[in-house]
Amino acid sequence: MDIKGYIDSYLEQTEEIARSLSKEEIEKSVAILRKVRAEDGRLFILGVGGSAANASHAVNDFRKIGGIETYAPTDNVSELTARTNDEGWDTTFTEWLKISHIGANDAVMVLSVGGGNENASPNIVSALKLAKERGAAVISIVSRDGGYSKKVSDACVLIPVVDETRITPHAEGFQGIVWHLLVNAL
């Protein structure tokens, strides 16, 4: 495919995804975030790989623009790598959330391409189990079938797969679009 054809195809797919996002799930997400802010709760944003970079950016926006106390465990690389080395990857987020005393006034937001399962992003799966045990709300912005995140979320914005070869760029790109929408809707 020539570059013009590639550009046209990518942007057409972007339009298709934007039109198909669930407004209902976005509205639920805003309601959860407004409640967290009103109850002086905290927002914990989880992501790995490119989604970890998105989590860091989202923390800034939810804190500075949205007025919600917000954190991402991946922002502290020293603690993340120490926990990985000493305790294993699967529990990195869970142990971080325990130290943070996650509770019923808090929420966890998952930014993930696949949403986590026992083989991919098991640290997200473990963290969500703890979050639900502690009564925290769960919001996810995920793609593919949504994985474990979709199964346990109180609100799940699913980024549809429109091209198998572009799942990750579309998912991670739309994470930014959706969280910016959420922040500015608060």
DSSP code of 58?
Answer: H
What is d(CA 26, CA 177) in angstroms, rounded to the nearest whole number?
11
pLDDT tens per residue, range 38-84:
999 999 999 999 999 999 999 999 999 999 999 999 999 999 999 99
Question: ∠ CA 70-105-101 to the nearest 5 degrees?
Answer: 70
> In this predicted structure, what is the pLDDT of residue 123?
96
pLDDT greater than 90 at residue 178: yes
Token pair belonging to 137: 């709300």
Sorted by where each starts, the structural domains of the chain and their CATH numbers stand as: 3-185 (3.40.50.10490)
Average pLDDT over residues 14-29: 98
DSSP code of 74?
Answer: G
> In this predicted structure, what is the pLDDT of residue 1?
73
- Confidence (pTM): 0.97
> In this predicted structure, what is the pLDDT of residue 89?
93
- In which region does residue 12 sit, left (phi positive, over 0), alpha (psi from -120 to 50) or beta (all else)? alpha
pLDDT tens per residue, range 120-172:
999 999 999 999 999 999 999 999 999 999 999 999 999 999 999 999 999 99
> In this predicted structure, what is the pLDDT of residue 118?
80
For 83, other C-beta atoms within 10 Å of its C-beta total 21
> In this predicted structure, what is the pLDDT of residue 11?
98
| In contact, 36 and 114? CB cutoff 8 Å | no
